[in-house]
């Protein structure tokens, strides 16, 4: 059968062999293509860094992408690639939103499966890294991981260890790097010093210029019968962003602007901020305000504020000292989200010097407390409330008539909320709930829209619910600039203008806010 064997071999060598080869190649191509399409499309946002230069931070972004690519089951899209793609479709990576919201929005626009974002904090004692992995379709965080090292491991190596541990993989130096839950904050000394200084100077100024210790009270007035009328300067809207949003800032008071709006917001600040502002109001008042906020611990936040108000003719001037404190319950009983409570101590000195144009000269001291609460329903919705002037007592010393009397300011209850469906749009609303018969309902709200990377446009509306009250229309803008190359982290410039339908009492605000 040698001839048959030779025939079989010839068949194998010619058409049969070619057919098998073609089939194998086609199968390999299909299999490889299936493997490629099943690879997870992962976007990697730029790392947030502290204590690291901008150049080193950019290099770490590239290093992180290389580490993730080496795992073998991700198709990695770097921050630069995502930014370039967004420009092509006439969008951009937001610069001012929560990481989770930015991740979901970017992932949806670029049709990605998952987004990774993280942070590196480095100081003289330790280096800490943390990562979160977001599933774009379900819009939830599917994995988080944090760890720290006492500067014994290079940052690049620390990133590799963190990524491998996050994916359940072992690493030779894994035992040297302990896991961590949250970066510890210890600014207690700054907290005590700032609060003590604000309250101390407020009391000293009141003693010297406000008649704090004057005795022989002749009368007492219960001004709650006029509870809808208030002469307190603290009820005038301040700072550019709050006033542009219709003065509806109770639920957004988690920054340096929020000290005079809701003390509960102090526990939600992300870091130290300083703000200053100027307001020209009622065609006669010059108001200047400055504030500072920071975290004392992970749960405690605080804010200090100094406010000056004076008229053009120097008939009266006011100096207000506000010290706000807040505590956040990160794991409240039976509640899925953190809840913060806060209190503000308000000390005010009002003086009217003797002059030809003044009808009376007086020294007034005013002290009061505000109580606030703030929580979140989810990553997009926040709720808050404030009970102001609970209590508030004003001690007036009329030096012209020699009379001394007390006034009790009425309490006010305000509740509000914010809704941020994405990184570009921000909605806010607020309502004053009557506590006395002659108090009126009041509603206000506003919208903030990001038009460009650094520019935001704002519109607001405010109205008390009774016939004679005017409609107040507000508008303004904000600009945020990255200042890491110079000082601090960012600079925010805000401006606003208020128009009344009775065409009286216009108000213009300009403010600056610096984050560190």
As a whole number of angstroms, the distance between CA 218 and CA 213 comes to 14
pLDDT value, residue 221? 53
Is residue 450 within 8 Å of residue 456, measured between CB atoms?
yes
Our CA dihedral for 262, 268, 272, 278, rounded to 10 degrees, sits at -30
DSSP letter for each residue of 206-270: HHHHS-TT-----EEE-GGGGTT----GGGS--SHHHHHTTT--GGG--SGGGGGT-GGGGGG--
Residue 420, C-beta contacts closer than 8 angstroms, at least 6 positions apart: 97, 98, 101, 380, 426, 427
Residue scoring higher pLDDT (194 or 6): 194
Give percent of the chain above pLDDT 70.
Answer: 81
Answer whether residue 413 shows pLDDT above 90.
Answer: yes
For the residues 227-232, what does the mean pLDDT come to? 55
pLDDT value, residue 357? 54
Answer whether residue 171 shows pLDDT above 70.
Answer: no
pLDDT value, residue 96? 60
- Domains observed in the chain: 40-176 (3.40.50.10610), 188-515 (2.40.160.60)
Q: How confident is the model at residue 18 (pLDDT cuts 50, 70, 90)?
A: low
What is the biggest distance separating any 2 CA atoms in the chain, rounded to whole angstroms? 138
The DSSP bridge pattern shows strands 412-419 and 507-515 to be: unpaired
Is residue 299 within 8 Å of residue 330, measured between CB atoms?
yes
pLDDT value, residue 326? 96
pLDDT value, residue 26? 47
Answer whether residue 401 shows pLDDT above 90.
Answer: no
Is residue 495 within 8 Å of residue 509, measured between CB atoms?
yes
Answer whether residue 434 shows pLDDT above 60.
Answer: yes
pLDDT value, residue 422? 73
DSSP letter for each residue of 365-428: EEEEEEEEEEEESSSSEEEEEEEESTTEEEEEEETTT--EEEEEPPPEEEEEEEE-SSSSEEEE
Q: How confident is the model at residue 503 (pLDDT cuts 50, 70, 90)?
A: low
As a whole number of angstroms, the distance between CA 210 and CA 200 comes to 14
For the residues 228-243, what does the mean pLDDT come to? 75
User: 68-82, 83-97, 294-308: lowest mean pLDDT where?
Assistant: 83-97
198-206: list long-range contacts, CB under 8 Å, 24+ apart: 198/304, 198/305, 198/306, 198/321, 198/322, 198/323, 199/321, 199/323, 199/345, 199/347, 201/321, 202/321, 202/323, 202/347, 202/349, 203/347, 205/319, 205/321, 205/349, 206/347, 206/348, 206/349, 206/365
pLDDT value, residue 255? 93
Give percent of the chain above pLDDT 90.
Answer: 34
Most confident of 285-289, 422-426, 427-431: 427-431
Mean pLDDT of the chain: 81
Answer whether residue 291 shows pLDDT above 80.
Answer: yes
pLDDT value, residue 97? 64
As a whole number of angstroms, the distance between CA 113 and CA 106 comes to 11
As a whole number of angstroms, the distance between CA 424 and CA 407 comes to 46
**What are the tens digits of pLDDT across the range 99-154?**
787 888 888 888 999 999 988 888 777 788 889 999 998 888 888 888 887 766 67
pLDDT value, residue 469? 80
Q: How confident is the model at residue 355 (pLDDT cuts 50, 70, 90)?
A: low
Answer whether residue 370 shows pLDDT above 90.
Answer: yes
User: 84-88, 152-156, 305-309, 474-478: lowest mean pLDDT where?
Assistant: 152-156
Task: Look up residue 87 and give its DSSP letter.
Answer: H
pLDDT value, residue 230? 56
Residue scoring higher pLDDT (484 or 479): 479
**What are the tens digits of pLDDT across the range 42-66?**
999 988 887 787 788 888 888 999 9
DSSP letter for each residue of 136-205: TTTTEEEEEEEEEESS-S-HHHHHHHHHHHHTT---TTGGGS-B-SS-----HHHHHHHHHHHHHHHHHH
Q: Which two tokens mark 80?
A: 């630069």
Q: Which two tokens mark 153?
A: 């491991």
Answer whether residue 178 shows pLDDT above 50.
Answer: no
pLDDT value, residue 94? 67
pLDDT value, residue 12? 44
As a whole number of angstroms, the distance between CA 87 and CA 94 comes to 12
* pTM exceeds 0.75, yes or no: no
Q: How confident is the model at residue 217 (pLDDT cuts 50, 70, 90)?
A: low
Residue scoring higher pLDDT (230 or 209): 209
pLDDT value, residue 166? 85
Residue 50, C-beta contacts closer than 8 angstroms, at least 6 positions apart: 119, 120, 121, 122
DSSP letter for each residue of 330-351: SS-TT-SS-EEEEEEEEEEEEE
Answer whether residue 404 shows pLDDT above 90.
Answer: no
Answer whether residue 38 shows pLDDT above 70.
Answer: no
DSSP letter for each residue of 456-512: EEEEEEEEESSTTPPPEEEEEEEEEEE-TTTSSSEEEEEEEEEEETT----EEEEEE
**What are the tens digits of pLDDT across the range 320-347?**
999 999 999 977 777 778 899 999 999 9
pLDDT value, residue 479? 94
Residue from 209, 205, 210 nearest 364 by CA:
210
């Amino acid at each position: 059968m040698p001839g048959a064997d030779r025939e079989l071999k010839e068949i194998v060598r010619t058409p049969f062999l070619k057919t098998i080869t073609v089939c194998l190649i086609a199968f390999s191509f299909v299999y490889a293509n299936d493997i490629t399409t099943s690879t997870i499309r992962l976007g990697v946002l730029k790392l947030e860094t502290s204590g690291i230069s901008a150049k080193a931070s950019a290099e770490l972004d590239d290093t992180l992408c290389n580490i993730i690519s080496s795992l073998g089951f991700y198709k990695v899209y770097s921050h630069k690639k995502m930014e370039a793609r967004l420009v092509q479709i006439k969008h951009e990576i937001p610069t001012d939103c929560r990481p989770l919201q930015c991740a979901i929005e970017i992932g949806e626009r670029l049709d990605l499966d998952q987004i990774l974002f993280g942070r590196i904090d480095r100081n003289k004692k330790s280096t800490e890294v943390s990562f979160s992995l977001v599933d774009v379709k379900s819009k939830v965080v599917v994995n988080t991981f944090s760890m720290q090292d006492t500067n014994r491991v290079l940052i690049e190596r620390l990133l590799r260890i963190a990524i491998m541990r996050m994916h359940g993989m072992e690493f030779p130096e894994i035992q040297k790097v302990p896991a961590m839950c949250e970066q510890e904050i210890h600014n207690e000394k700054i907290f005590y010093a700032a609060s003590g200084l604000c309250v101390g100077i407020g009391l000293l100024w009141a003693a010297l210029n406000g008649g704090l210790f004057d005795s022989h009270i002749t009368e007492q007035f219960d001004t709650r019968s006029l509870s809808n009328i208030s002469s307190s300067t603290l009820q005038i809207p301040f700072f550019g962003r709050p006033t542009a949003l219709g003065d509806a800032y109770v639920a957004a008071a988690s920054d340096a602007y929020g000290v005079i709006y809701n003390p509960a917001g102090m526990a939600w600040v992300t870091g130290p901020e300083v703000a200053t502002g100027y307001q020209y109001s009622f065609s006669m008042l010059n108001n200047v305000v400055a504030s500072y906020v920071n975290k004392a611990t992970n749960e405690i936040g605080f804010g200090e504020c100094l406010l000056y108000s004076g008229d053009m003719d120097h008939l009266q001037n006011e100096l207000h000292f506000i010290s706000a404190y807040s505590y956040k319950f990160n794991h409240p009983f039976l509640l899925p989200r953190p809840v913060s409570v806060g209190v503000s101590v308000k000390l005010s000195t009002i003086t009217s010097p003797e002059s030809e144009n003044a009808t009376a000269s007086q020294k007034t001291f005013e002290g009061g407390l505000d109580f606030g609460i703030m929580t979140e329903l989810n990553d997009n919705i926040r709720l808050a409330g404030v009970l102001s002037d609970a209590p508030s007592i004003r001690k007036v010393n009329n030096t012209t008539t020699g009379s001394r009397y007390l006034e009790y300011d009425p309490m006010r209850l305000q509740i509000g909320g914010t809704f941020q469906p994405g990184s570009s749009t921000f909605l806010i609303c607020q309502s004053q709930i009557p506590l006395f018969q002659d108090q009126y309902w009041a509603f206000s709200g506003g919208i903030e829209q990001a038009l460009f990377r650094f520019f935001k446009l704002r519109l607001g509306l405010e109205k008390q619910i009774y016939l004679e009250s005017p409609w107040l229309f507000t508008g303004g803008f904000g600009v945020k600039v990255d200042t890491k190359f110079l000082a601090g982290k960012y600079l925010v410039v805000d401006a606003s203008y208020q128009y009344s339908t009775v065409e009286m009492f216009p108000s213009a605000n300009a403010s600056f806010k610096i984050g560190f």
